[in-house]
Amino acid sequence: MADWGEFGFIEALRRRLPPASGALRIGVGDDASWWRPESGNGILTTTDMLVAGIHFDLSYTSAADLGYKSLAVNLSDLAAMGGRPACAYLSLALPAQLQKVWLDEYIAAFLQLAEAHNVQLAGGDTVAASELVISITLNGLVSEGNPVLRSGAEIGDDIYVSGSIGDSFLGLQLLQERIAGSVLDSSKIAFLQARHLRPSPRVGLGCQLAASGRVSAMLDISDGMVADLGHLLAASGGLGAELDRAKIPLSQAALKLVTAGHLDCRDLLTGGEDYELLFTANPDARAEIAEIAISAEVAVTRIGRITDEKTILMLVNGVTEELSGRRGYDHFHD
Q: Are the folds of 6-142 and 158-322 the same?
A: no
Contact 183, 189 (CB under 8 A): no
Indicate the pairing of strand 240-244 with strand 312-316.
Answer: parallel
- pLDDT lower than 50: segments of the chain: 331-333
Which of 3.40.190.10, 3.40.50.740, 3.40.50.2300, 3.90.650.10 would CATH assign to domain 158-322?
A: 3.90.650.10
Per residue in 121-174, pLDDT (tens digit) is 999 999 999 999 999 999 998 877 789 999 999 999 999 999 999 999 999 999
- pTM: predicted TM-score of the whole model, two decimal places: 0.90
User: Using CA atoms, how far apart are residues 334 and 1, in angstroms rounded to an integer?
Assistant: 32
Mean pLDDT of the chain: 91
pLDDT on residue 332: 43
Q: What is the pLDDT of residues 179-205, one digit of tens each?
A: 887 889 999 999 999 999 999 999 999
Domain 6-142 architecture? 2-Layer Sandwich (3.30)
Question: Where along the chain do its domains lie?
Answer: 6-142, 158-322
The reported pLDDT for the residue numbered 329 is 53
Cα dihedral sign, 34-48-121-86: negative
Is the separation of the CB atoms in 77 and 45 below 8 Å? no
Q: Which of 168, 176, 171 is nearest to 190 (CA)?
A: 171
